[in-house]
Structure 1
Amino acid sequence: MAFASQIRIPATYMRGGTSKGVFFRLQDLPEAAQRPGPARDELLMRVIGSPDPYGKQIDGMGGATSSTSKAVILSKSTRPGHDVDYLFGQVAIDKAFIDWSGNCGNLSAAVGPFAISNGLVDPAKVPRDGLCTVRIWQANIGKTIVAHVPMTQGAVQETGDFELDGVTFPAAEVALEFMDPADEGDDGGAMFPTGNLVDDLEVPGVGSFKATLINAGIPTIFLNAHDIGYTGTELQGAINGDKAALARFETIRAWGAVRMGLIKDVAEAATRQHTPKIAFVAPPQDYVASSGKAVRAADVDLLVRALSMGQLHHAMMGTAAVAIGTAAAVPGTLVHLAAGGGERHAVRFGHPSGTLRVGAEARQEGRQWTVTKALMSRSARVLMEGWVRVPG
């Protein structure tokens, strides 16, 4: 019996922030996969090693966590004023499914470096030394991201002394600006889709919870840690090994998604795993991060824990960090209250791996709030480049 030989596709394996993913140029994909649809999804799932009922992704490039089961497709931008179009796919581990509904803020840090190194940015715009500004069109959510990428002697600088909690080794800093991160509707109020800064979220069979429902960076449901029986100091082991807790979080997430208008029925949440995110907040407390590093209450404004693809994240999703910074800048949200109130243009929050600072510029127009941009720094590095192989 004859079997099809493997095909090989140019690809780069990159770390961006606290995530890793396989990066492709659109033009390098097989023709059938250059368009959205089943052929593209099947190819990328096979590259990553999904679906895997064992949950290990042994036969692919994925790392068996939501942070390492990702694919990125980049191309020269056709949108005026932009350099590169960026499409992100969150690959489910044990299911045959790719969620294209949102962005990955961490991998956003790797988009600029990849685009420069792979000829997707006009060479005339790339300085020999200094910072190269790359304007990125985030195609999943229709937003602009501006990356400031360090250059040394005509090449992207990847090494440096910038430290990021959740990443073991230092690297070069990549500053990111998420422009107009809130999803603004015709009435300008869609940053808070219910029109409220805090809602009473009724979850049948679970309970009623105070919640801030926000569209900024990524749709996010914020709860108070105390209301759901947590302190805000939890690490992954305290939640990811508790099947009942994970099921409860998923039920809350599903009903929150309905309340936000993202889905019409809770059953649809299974096909929209990447968004919305669910997170819980608490006032500052001392705790020990997963690395063993002591985080002091005096060093943070609040504590935040967030779940991604049904598991507590080991650090913080970049897009959720945008939501945190945005919500902290708006007086009256649960995030703002957990941070102690007052006028805020930036917050430093504690997460399972340490701390992270994120800024946001928010202003009130009438009864509505708008955010012009959110800012944070990450780092990125090429881990491997060449070709990935998949059975033809």
Structure 2
Amino acid sequence: MAHVPQIRIPATYMRGGTSKGVFFRLQDLPDAAQAPGKARDALLMRVIGSPDPYGKQIDGMGGATSSTSKTVILSRSERPDHDVDYLFGQVSIDSAFVDWSGNCGNLSAAVGPFAIANGLVDPARVPRNGTATLRIWQANIGKTIVAHVPISEGAVQETGDFELDGVTFPAAEVQLEFMDPAAEEEGAGGAMFPTGNLVDELEVPGVGTLKATMINAGIPTIFVNADSIGYSGTELQDAINGDEKALAKFETIRAQGAVRMGLIKDVSEAAKRQHTPKLAFVAPSKDYLASSGKAVAAKDIDLLVRALSMGKLHHAMMGTAAVAIGTAAAIPGTLVNLAAGGGARNAVRFGHPSGTLRVGAEANQENGEWVVRKAIMSRSARVLMEGWVRVPGDAF
């Protein structure tokens, strides 16, 4: 009986922040997948195990959550002032598409380590001991990320004592700087606040009119107040992800916000744009128990934030959404800033389902417009497995 043999492709399975993904060098992909298009998308879906009507991704590398259904393609940068070009693909779990509309802030922490270990960075840029400072071109959104990667004896240091809520074991700290994080989204004119307002009245059929801060920073994000949609801000995943009615309501809010932000023309287009925008709800700080059972005290945080990714409440916080949180918190009058107590600030620590996270950002007004030049946060990264992934030869 005739059969199609499998092919193997060099790849590395990495954790970055609170996400995991399959990393490739562009040059290692089959010729048909080295350019954007159907072949590349089909290959990445097969690698991850999508589309899977069972929602488990058993026949692939995906972990059946938005945090673990991710792919990354890296290459030496074609830009003279950058080290590496970084392209992120969010693979849908149960539908046949790859969303290229945004970045993954968590996996951004793994880009520098992978690039150094896989010969994509000029060796002269890497010290024998110390910190390698790399400039990464984030190709999805056209932005620069500066990664500070610890180096020991000429190799990336992966182990250490830096603890990140949402990640079980400590590792080495990788500091990330997201430069000029206001996202330049098609249809949004590149504005940090595409509607021109810090707070809008967002009309949502079947839900009502909600106050919303809609911001392009790190990733397009819609913030609403938790109490306006019936939540406290202390919820964990089980309180929402098993509630189909609640998830449908969140998706309706997200779709309406996407239209108002100019990211889509009609709510019907939202189903094909699952990765962006994100939807999050905020509340003043309160005591709660994180998903690990650890107590989070109200006095130790500035506010509570819960965010949805790919239609589900995230187990921690997306890195790009953390950039949006830090940016919005720095601008007096946004819902995020008000939930944190209002006033000027250059850093915020927020509570999420797995614990807490600190992100810094400084905002200034230039010619009447709010501008944030940099957002900073720390993550960690580690190689989990390296070698080859295998896919059937007719998969793409």
Report the TM-score when normalising by structure 1.
Answer: 0.99
CA deviations 1:194-219 (Å, max 9, x no partner) are 00000000012221100000000000
Distance 1:80 1:206 in 2: 49
Displaced runs of 4 or more, over 4 A: 184-189
2:8 aligns with 8
2:50 aligns with 50
- 3-state SS in 2 of match to 1:105: coil
CA deviations 1:120-169 (Å, max 9, x no partner) are 00001110100001110000000000000000000000000000000000
Q: Does the 8 Å CA contact 1:12/1:22 hold for their aligned counterparts?
A: yes
2:336 aligns with 335
Task: Give 1:224 shift.
Answer: 0.2
Task: Give 1:339 shift.
Answer: 0.2
1:105 aligns with 105
Q: Does the 8 Å CA contact 1:221/1:277 hold for their aligned counterparts?
A: yes
Matched ranges for 1:56-205 at <5 A: 56-183=56-183, 190-205=191-206
1:36 aligns with 36
1:284 aligns with 285
Distance 1:370 1:58 in 2: 44
1:222 aligns with 223
1:248 aligns with 249
CA 1:37–1:385: 2 relative to 1, 3 Å:
same
Q: Does the 8 Å CA contact 1:189/1:369 hold for their aligned counterparts?
A: no
CA deviations 1:23-71 (Å, max 9, x no partner) are 0000000000000000000000000000000000000000000000000
- 3-state SS in 2 of match to 1:251: helix
Distance 1:85 1:6 in 2: 29
Larger mean CA deviation between 182-191 and 290-299 belongs to 182-191
Distance 2:86 2:366 in 1: 31
CA 1:187–1:249: 2 relative to 1, 3 Å:
closer
Aligned residue identity for 2:220: P
Distance 2:189 2:310 in 1: 29
1:261 aligns with 262
Q: Does the 8 Å CA contact 2:62/2:69 hold for their aligned counterparts?
A: yes
Task: Give 1:295 shift.
Answer: 0.1
Report the TM-score when normalising by structure 2.
Answer: 0.98
Aligned residue identity for 2:36: P
Aligned residue identity for 1:389: R
Distance 1:257 1:8 in 2: 39
Aligned-pair identity (%): 84
Task: Give 1:357 shift.
Answer: 0.1
Aligned residue identity for 2:179: M
Q: Does the 8 Å CA contact 2:142/2:184 hold for their aligned counterparts?
A: no
- 3-state SS in 1 of match to 2:231: coil
- 3-state SS in 2 of match to 1:141: coil
Distance 2:153 2:366 in 1: 46
2:296 aligns with 295
CA 1:92–1:126: 2 relative to 1, 3 Å:
same
Equivalences, count: 392
Q: Does the 8 Å CA contact 1:213/1:221 hold for their aligned counterparts?
A: yes
Distance 2:85 2:190 in 1: 27
Unaligned runs of 5+ in 2: none
Q: Does the 8 Å CA contact 1:189/1:195 hold for their aligned counterparts?
A: no
Task: Give 1:187 shift.
Answer: 11
Aligned residue identity for 1:387: W
Distance 2:271 2:252 in 1: 10
Q: Does the 8 Å CA contact 2:188/2:261 hold for their aligned counterparts?
A: no
Task: Give 1:184 shift.
Answer: 5.5
Task: Give 1:292 shift.
Answer: 0.4
Aligned residue identity for 1:92: S
Aligned residue identity for 2:392: P
Distance 2:348 2:259 in 1: 29
CA deviations 1:228-256 (Å, max 9, x no partner) are 00000000000000000000000000000
Q: Does the 8 Å CA contact 2:22/2:71 hold for their aligned counterparts?
A: yes
Provide the aligned C-alpha RMSD in A. Answer: 1.2
- 3-state SS in 2 of match to 1:253: helix
2:320 aligns with 319
Distance 2:283 2:74 in 1: 38
Unaligned runs of 5+ in 1: none
Q: Does the 8 Å CA contact 2:182/2:190 hold for their aligned counterparts?
A: no
CA deviations 1:80-129 (Å, max 9, x no partner) are 20000000000000110100000000000000000000000000111010
Aligned residue identity for 1:260: M
Distance 1:132 1:148 in 2: 6
